[in-house]
Amino acid sequence: MYYRFVLDRVFILGVPVDKVSSAQVCDLILQFTSGSQQKHIATPNSEMLVEASKNKAFKDLLNRTDLNIPDSAGLILASKFIKNPLIERVTGVDTVKKTCSKLDSKNSVFLLGAGSGVAEKAAENLKKDNPEIVIAGTYSGSPKPEDSEEIINRINECKPSILLVAYGAPAQEFWIDKYLNKMPSVRVAMGIGGTLDFIAGTVKRAPKIMRVLNLEWLFRLITQPWRFKRVWKAVVVFPFKVLTKSK
């Protein structure tokens, strides 16, 4: 029985976010890999919910994904504000690392997206930490429709059960939504944003103390100042929308 029948969800700006713990997410992914249906997992954060509030197609998509895990501190705070608290923050990077540590050789993983050489380096690091893991393949590709045929052929050639897509939101979610049914071996597809950069070590994660204090946005602003607009959306626009209950 899937957690779906047990899991509760909280709606934030019209998008359902699942009340799941990090451990439950891993169990679920493992459960999904042996299921008969294909599952799309999204990792919404504050910025994605701001995007969804302006982009109906994206909001509709996030209302039909199979699992939406709360990937930002902002969602946890928002859920507390609307008095329907989420369990905990479950980041994409921790989910990928934890899941990979539990996979057996029956399940293989394909890493799609990120900059040139990043997925390969991430695969190397995942393999170092988990010698048992089967990395079916890696490919940078692009979310452009004209590249989809090549990507799908590559994925179908190595038949992974788990597909991790790092094209950033909302491109990765639209890509999965459009093409998942063309890759029959894939049981679980998940949009993972900058996760491969973190695992490859090409982008540094905020120090633990900043993560604990919910200051990851400040670290990103200092280390990647060009992300100002995105940080503004997450730190100013998102709370404003939640506080004013605007949709």
* Binding residues among 104-123 for ligand UDP as defined by CB under 6 A: 113-115
Beta strands at 108-113 and 134-139: parallel, antiparallel or unpaired: parallel
User: Closest CB to ligand UDP among 4 and 144?
Assistant: 144
Question: What minimum distance in Å lies between the beta carbon of 21 and ligand UDP?
Answer: 21
147 binding ligand UDP? (CB under 6 A): no
User: How many of the other CB atoms lie within 10 Å of CB of 7?
Assistant: 14
User: Closest CB to ligand UDP among 100 and 114?
Assistant: 114
User: How many of the other CB atoms lie within 10 Å of CB of 70?
Assistant: 27
Question: What minimum distance in Å lies between the beta carbon of 200 and ligand UDP?
Answer: 9
Stretch in the footprint of ligand UDP (CB under 6 A) among 14-22, 56-64, 149-157, 188-196: 188-196
188 binding ligand UDP? (CB under 6 A): no
CA distance 191 to 40: 8
The answer to whether 112 and 81 are in contact (CB under 8 A) is no
Of the candidate residues 110, 139, 167, 175, the single one contacting ligand UDP (CB under 6 A): 167
| Element containing residue 67 per DSSP (H, E) | strand 67-68
Q: Which residue is nearest to ligand UDP (CB)?
A: 193
Question: What minimum distance in Å lies between the beta carbon of 141 and ligand UDP?
Answer: 8
Coil, strand or helix at 21: coil
CA separation, residue 202 to residues 50, 97, 172 (Å): 27, 16, 20
CA distance 49 to 14: 9
CA distance 170 to 145: 14
193 binding ligand UDP? (CB under 6 A): yes
User: How many of the other CB atoms lie within 10 Å of CB of 239?
Assistant: 15
User: Closest CB to ligand UDP among 127 and 227?
Assistant: 227
168 binding ligand UDP? (CB under 6 A): yes
Of the candidate residues 135, 196, 199, 234, the single one contacting ligand UDP (CB under 6 A): 196
CA distance 147 to 133: 28
Of the candidate residues 70, 74, 170, 194, the single one contacting ligand UDP (CB under 6 A): 194
Question: What minimum distance in Å lies between the beta carbon of 225 and ligand UDP?
Answer: 14
Task: Provide the token pair at 10.
Answer: 């909280």
CA distance 124 to 37: 29
Question: What minimum distance in Å lies between the beta carbon of 223 and ligand UDP?
Answer: 11
20 binding ligand UDP? (CB under 6 A): no
Compute how many residues bind ligand UDP; rule: CB under 6 A: 13
70 binding ligand UDP? (CB under 6 A): no
CA distance 164 to 135: 11
Q: Which residues are near ligand UDP by CB under 6 A?
A: 113-115, 142-143, 166-169, 193-194, 196-197
